Amino acid sequence: MTAEPMEDRPARVEVEGPELLAKAFRPYERYRLVLHHDDGSRDSQVRDIVRGGRVVGLLGYDPARDLVVLIRQFRLSAHLSADRGNLVEIVAGLVEAGESEEAAARRECLEETGVAPRAILPMLRFTPTPGLTDEMATLFLGIVDADALPERAGARHETEMTQPFAVPVDAALAAIAEGRCINGFLILALQWLALNRARLPQLIAAVG
């Protein structure tokens, strides 16, 4: 048996659309497509997606105190699906037109924690829910001073209110291991931190 390489790859597909179904905070669109398979067969599909576009997340980290900087804010979807609407999260938000992912991560960190990162480094990229949205997320580690955190933050023009707080890294890792937090961005970011913890001093030194 030939080993299948573990990697994402382009699809052979003909796409027709979009048909706008609804336009609110994010557009909701319908596409019609013909998907060609490796065995020569093909099938027709209709797929509806929410257009999410580019987003970023940033895990705040204070290396002097070995703390992660997180936020707490209300999420209606988590309230409806799990009755856990008061979520613990990392900083996250949309990339604005003409803005780089790194610039967006810096801006969101200042807006949602009240503290600007002195340096940031890339972590990973992923699609949060590819069956529902085209959202593409880029995660960063942001080096911050946890002592400078205010009690409240958030972009007032977005009616956003966040509660920044700092947690020892070991306590944060224990929380996700025990299932006490359900936000996917948070879980992925902390798992990256756990995998790369031994080499954090070198990574941080490389970005200043």
pLDDT band at 1; cut points 50, 70, 90: low
> 79 pLDDT band (50/70/90 cuts)?
very high
Q: Cα(105)–Cα(116) distance, rounded to whole angstroms?
A: 10
* Choice among 4, 151, 158, 178 that is catalytic: 158
Output the pLDDT for position 203.
Answer: 93
The DSSP output letter for 194 is: H
Question: Residue 152's pLDDT band (boundaries 50, 70, 90)?
Answer: confident
Cα 197 from Cα 194, distance rounded (Å) = 5
Picking from 51, 19, 50, the residue whose alpha carbon sits closest to that of residue 32 is: 19
Q: What is the DSSP string of 92-135?
A: EEEPPTT--HHHHHHHHHHHHHS---SEEEEEEEE-S-TTTB--
Q: How confident is the model at residue 153 (pLDDT cuts 50, 70, 90)?
A: confident
- Residue 158 annotated among the catalytic residues of the structure: yes
**Packing angle, helices 200-207 and 184-196, rounded to 10:** 100
Length of the chain: 208
Q: What is the pLDDT of residue 10?
A: 95
Confidence of residue 183 (pLDDT cuts 50, 70, 90): very high
**Is this structure's pTM higher than 0.75?**
yes
Quick: pLDDT tens for 11-63: 999 999 999 999 998 999 999 999 999 999 999 999 999 999 999 999 999 99
Largest CA distance in the chain: 61
